[in-house]
Chains A and B, each alone.
Chain A
Amino acid sequence: TPVQNDLKEFFTLA
């Protein structure tokens, strides 16, 4: 089953 990712894996804290 597909696992939900967290946005922070894609967008870095500016």
Chain B
Amino acid sequence: MFEARLLQGSLLKKVMEALKELLNEAAWDCSDAGIQLQAMDNSHVSLVSLNLRAEGFDKYRCDRNLSMGMNLGSMSKILKCASNEDIITIKAQDNADTVTFVFESPDQDKVSDYEMKLMNLDQEHLGIPETDYACTIRLPSSEFARICRDLSQFGESMVISCTKEGVRFSATGDIGTGNIKLAQSAKVDKEEEAVVIEMQEPVSLTFACRYLNSFTKATSLSKSVQLSMSPEVPLVVEYKIEDIGHVRYYLAPKIED
């Protein structure tokens, strides 16, 4: 039997919002270590990797490893039925063909349960090599969302250039060109408001704006976001999820032909 109880149910609601624009369906792989999900969008240009550690749940039981194929559109409809204050429990029998979501109101005066059919997904799993990135940039997640939204008006591609001075985001198209430069924060008084750059070597890469904008649907999960870049390898955009895990997005660069 599998059962995972999350006191802060709103986190799962936010995770749903972070996944459903990019993915239609995905396999939730459950083990005694926790819940993992890895899936590429239909165009195989981006990949989402979610990790929720068992110890982050109020109660977590996984008798046998379980992979639950879910239609994320349906799952999103069910999670919309949960209030932000609800405790959310996910449970399934071993080799079941359905999963049940239970929403408990904080004072237990309302308990809802929703049963959803599972899908057989032949998920291809990609090996993501451990990489020592040339540049990592940590910045406020709201800032990154704003930059992606503003610059995607100018072009379908965004160039992210990181040097020791700072990081520059640029986009150009029919109406013109936009450049946004962020300097490394001088004093880091409020950690999550800071722009922190670690640079081994300067990097400049081009990415499709539409995927970057999809990634920023995870903004509500964390006050800060971390971008990792190396020449000619996929960008990593990582949002921590409180003390339970993270959601990581990988995006293949556009390279001059």
A residues touching B (Cβ–Cβ < 8 Å)? Answer: 1-14
Write the chain B residue with the least CB distance to A5. B252
Contact A7 to B125, CB < 8 A, known contacts A2-B157, A2-B256: no
Inter-chain contacts of A5 with B (CB < 8 A): 45, 252-255
* Docked complex Cα distance between A6 and B211 (Å): 13
| Contact-residue bracket for chain B | 20 to 34
Distance in Å: Cβ of A11 to nearest Cβ of chain B: 4
Contact between A6 and B45 (Cβ–Cβ < 8 Å)? yes
* Docked complex Cα distance between A6 and B254 (Å): 9
Inter-chain contacts of B182 with A (CB < 8 A): none
Among B46, B208, B254, B256, the residue within 8 A (CB) of A7 is B46
Distance in Å: Cβ of B51 to nearest Cβ of chain A: 16
* Docked complex Cα distance between A9 and B45 (Å): 10
Among B127, B206, B256, the residue within 8 A (CB) of A13 is B127
Write the chain B residue with the least CB distance to A6. B44
Contact A7 to B44, CB < 8 A, known contacts A2-B157, A2-B254, A2-B256: yes
Query: Contact string, B228-257, partner A, CB cutoff 8 A, digits 1/0?
Result: 000001100000000000000010111111
Query: Contact string, B40-84, partner A, CB cutoff 8 A, digits 1/0?
Result: 100011110000000000000000000000000000000000000
Distance in Å: Cβ of B164 to nearest Cβ of chain A: 25
